[in-house]
Amino acid sequence: MENKELIHAALQASGAVKKGFALKLGIIGGAIFVVLLMLMGMMAPGGGASTAGCTDTGAGTDDASPVSSSSGQSTGSVRKEQVANAKIIDGVAAQLGLPGRATLIALMAAMQESGIRNLHYGDRDSVGLFQQRPSADWGTRAQILEPKFAAESFFKGRGTNEGLIHIKNWQTRPPGDVAADIEKPDERYRGLYAGHEPEIRGIAKEAGINLDRKGTATGTTGTTGKTDGGATQASTRGQCDAQDTKGTGGGKFSDGKQTWTLNNPRSVAEAIAWAKSHAGSNSTGSWYARCLAFTAIVYGWSFSGVNYAIDHYNVVPKDMRHDGDRHPPPGALMYWDTGHRAGHIAVYLGGGKIASNDILRSGYIDVVDADLIETKWGAKYVGWTPPHFPKAG
Q: Supply the pLDDT for residue 297.
A: 94
Among candidates 145, 154, 143, which has minimal Cα distance to 98? 154
Name the strand (E) or helix (H) holding 218. none
Q: How far apart are CA 347 and CA 353, in angstroms?
A: 9
pTM of the model: 0.46
Q: How far apart are CA 383 and CA 95, in angstroms?
A: 34
CB 116 within 8 Å of CB 86: yes
Q: How far apart are CA 182 and CA 363, in angstroms?
A: 18
Q: Supply the pLDDT for residue 188.
A: 86
CATH of domain 222-393: 3.90.1720.10
Per-residue pLDDT of the chain (393 residues; tens, 9 = 90+): 444 444 444 444 444 444 444 444 455 555 555 555 444 444 443 333 322 233 223 334 333 333 333 345 565 788 999 999 999 999 999 999 999 999 999 999 999 999 999 999 988 999 999 999 999 889 999 999 999 999 999 999 988 888 999 999 999 999 999 999 999 998 888 999 999 999 999 999 999 999 999 999 988 643 333 334 333 332 233 456 555 544 455 689 999 999 989 999 999 999 999 999 999 999 988 887 889 999 999 999 998 888 888 999 999 999 999 999 999 999 999 999 988 888 999 999 999 999 999 899 878 899 999 999 999 989 999 999 999 999 988
CB atoms within 10 A of CB 187: 8
Q: Supply the pLDDT for residue 22.
A: 47
Q: Supply the pLDDT for residue 337.
A: 92
Classify residue 161 by its DSSP letter.
B
Q: Supply the pLDDT for residue 233.
A: 33
Name the strand (E) or helix (H) holding 59. none
Q: Supply the pLDDT for residue 156.
A: 93
Q: How far apart are CA 211 and CA 200, in angstroms?
A: 10
Among candidates 286, 62, 283, 60, which has minimal Cα distance to 164? 286
Q: How far apart are CA 366 and CA 307, in angstroms?
A: 23
Q: How far apart are CA 314 and CA 292, in angstroms?
A: 14
Q: How far apart are CA 83 and CA 254, in angstroms?
A: 56
The bridge status of strand 380-385 relative to strand 344-350 is unpaired
CB 68 within 8 Å of CB 46: no
Q: For 47, list phi and psi in degrees, rounded to 5.
A: 65, 180
Q: Supply the pLDDT for residue 285.
A: 81
Q: Supply the pLDDT for residue 24.
A: 47
Alpha helices in the chain (DSSP H): 3-14, 21-43, 76-95, 100-114, 141-144, 147-156, 175-183, 197-207, 268-277, 291-298, 309-315, 372-377
3-state secondary structure 316-376: CCHHHCEECCCCCCCCCEEEEECCCCCCEEEEEEECCEEEEECCCCCCCEEEEECCHHHHH
Q: What is the pLDDT of residues 19-49, one digit of tens each?
A: 444 444 455 555 555 555 444 444 443 333 3
